[in-house]
Amino acid sequence: MSGFRIDADRLRDRFDRFNEIGATERGGVDRPALTDENRAARDLLVKWFAEAGLDVRVDGIGNLFARREGRDPEADPVLVGSHVDSQRNGGRFDGVIGVLGALELVESLDDRGRETDRPIEVVSWTNEEGVRFQPDMLGSGVFAGVFDLGEALACEDREGNTVGEELERIGYRGEPVEIEPHSYLELHVEQGPILEDSGISVGAVEGIVGFSWLEGRVEGRADHAGPTPMDARTDALVPVADLIRGVRDLAGRSDDLVGTVGSLEVEPNSVNVIPERVSFTVDLRSPSDEAVEYAVVRVEELVERAARREGAEYTLERIMHVPSVDFEAEIVETVERAAEATGVSHTRLRSGAGHDASYLAGICPTGMVFVPSVDGVSHTECEYTDWADVVAGTDVLCQAVCERAGVEF
Ligand code: GLV
Ligand code: MN
Ligand code: MN
H/E element, 392: helix 387-405
HEC letters along 315-376: EEEEEEEECCEECCHHHHHHHHHHHHHHCCCEEEEEECCCCCHHHHCCCCCEEEEEECCHHH
Q: How far is the CA of 155 from the centre of ligand 2 (A)?
A: 20
How many Cβ atoms sit within 10 Å of the Cβ of residue 396?
33
| Most ligand 1 atoms within 8 A of CB, residue of 87, 134, 136 to mutate | 136
Q: Which atom of ligand 1 is nearest to the CA of 379?
A: 2
pLDDT at 254: 80
Burial class, 156, CB count within 10 angstroms (exposed 0-12 / middle 13-18 / buried 19+): middle
Q: Do residues 310 and 219 make contact, with C-beta atoms less than 8 angstroms apart?
A: no
Q: How far is the CA of 273 from the centre of ligand 3 (A)?
A: 36
Q: Which atom of ligand 1 is nearest to the CA of 283?
A: 5
Ligand nearest the Cα of residue 32 is 3
Cα-Cα-Cα-Cα torsion 84, 87, 93, 94, nearest 10 degrees, comes to -70
- Is 78 a pocket residue for ligand 1 (Cβ < 6 Å)? no
Maximum Cα interatomic distance, the chain, rounded to a whole number of Å: 80
What is the model's pTM? Answer: 0.95
Residue 162: DSSP 8-state: B
pLDDT at 19: 98
Ion ligand 2: residue ranges with CB closer than 5 A: 94-95
Question: Under 8 Å CB-to-CB from 165, ≥6 apart: which residues?
Answer: none
**pLDDT per residue as tens digits for the range 98-119:** 999 999 999 999 999 999 999 9
Residue 23: DSSP 8-state: B
Distance from C-alpha of 399 to C-alpha of 105, rounded to nearest angstrom: 9
Q: How far is the CA of 147 from the centre of ligand 1 (A)?
A: 17
Note the helical H segments in 112-201.
138-143, 149-153, 163-170, 194-198
- Is 312 a pocket residue for ligand 1 (Cβ < 6 Å)? no
Bridge partners (DSSP) listed for residue 313 = 219
- Is 32 a pocket residue for ligand 1 (Cβ < 6 Å)? no
Question: Under 8 Å CB-to-CB from 193, ≥6 apart: which residues?
Answer: 373, 375, 376
- Is 353 a pocket residue for ligand 1 (Cβ < 6 Å)? yes
Q: Which atom of ligand 1 is nearest to the CA of 285?
A: 4
Sign of CA dihedral 16, 19, 25, 26: negative
Ligand nearest the Cα of residue 283 is 1
Q: How many helices (H) and strands (E) does the chain have?
A: 12, 14
Distance from C-alpha of 383 to C-alpha of 192, rounded to nearest angstrom: 11
Bridge partners (DSSP) listed for residue 351 = 208
- Is 129 a pocket residue for ligand 1 (Cβ < 6 Å)? yes
Distance from C-alpha of 180 to C-alpha of 143, rounded to nearest angstrom: 10
DSSP line for 247-308? HHHHHHTSTT-EEE---EEEES--TTB---EEEEEEEEEES-HHHHHHHHHHHHHHHHHHHH
Average pLDDT score over the chain: 97
Show the domains of the chain with their CATH numbers: 8-209+324-405 (3.40.630.10), 210-322 (3.30.70.360)
Q: Do residues 37 and 30 make contact, with C-beta atoms less than 8 angstroms apart?
A: yes
- Is 136 a pocket residue for ligand 1 (Cβ < 6 Å)? yes
| Most ligand 1 atoms within 8 A of CB, residue of 355, 358, 370, 373 to mutate | 355
Q: How far is the CA of 234 from the centre of ligand 3 (A)?
A: 37
**pLDDT per residue as tens digits for the range 331-342:** 999 999 999 999
User: What is the Cα Rg of the chain in Å?
Assistant: 23
pLDDT at 354: 97
**Below-50 pLDDT ranges, the chain:** none
Q: Do residues 277 and 252 make contact, with C-beta atoms less than 8 angstroms apart?
A: no
Distance from C-alpha of 132 to C-alpha of 317, rounded to nearest angstrom: 18
| Most ligand 1 atoms within 8 A of CB, residue of 85, 129, 383 to mutate | 129
Distance from C-alpha of 253 to C-alpha of 213, rounded to nearest angstrom: 20
Q: How far is the CA of 321 from the centre of ligand 1 (A)?
A: 12
**pLDDT per residue as tens digits for the range 246-281:** 999 999 888 699 999 999 999 999 999 999 999 999
Q: Which atom of ligand 1 is nearest to the CA of 353?
A: 4
pLDDT at 51: 98
Position 198, amino acid: S
Q: Would strands 183-189 and 366-371 be described as parallel, antiparallel, or unpaired?
A: parallel
Ion ligand 3: residue ranges with CB closer than 5 A: 94
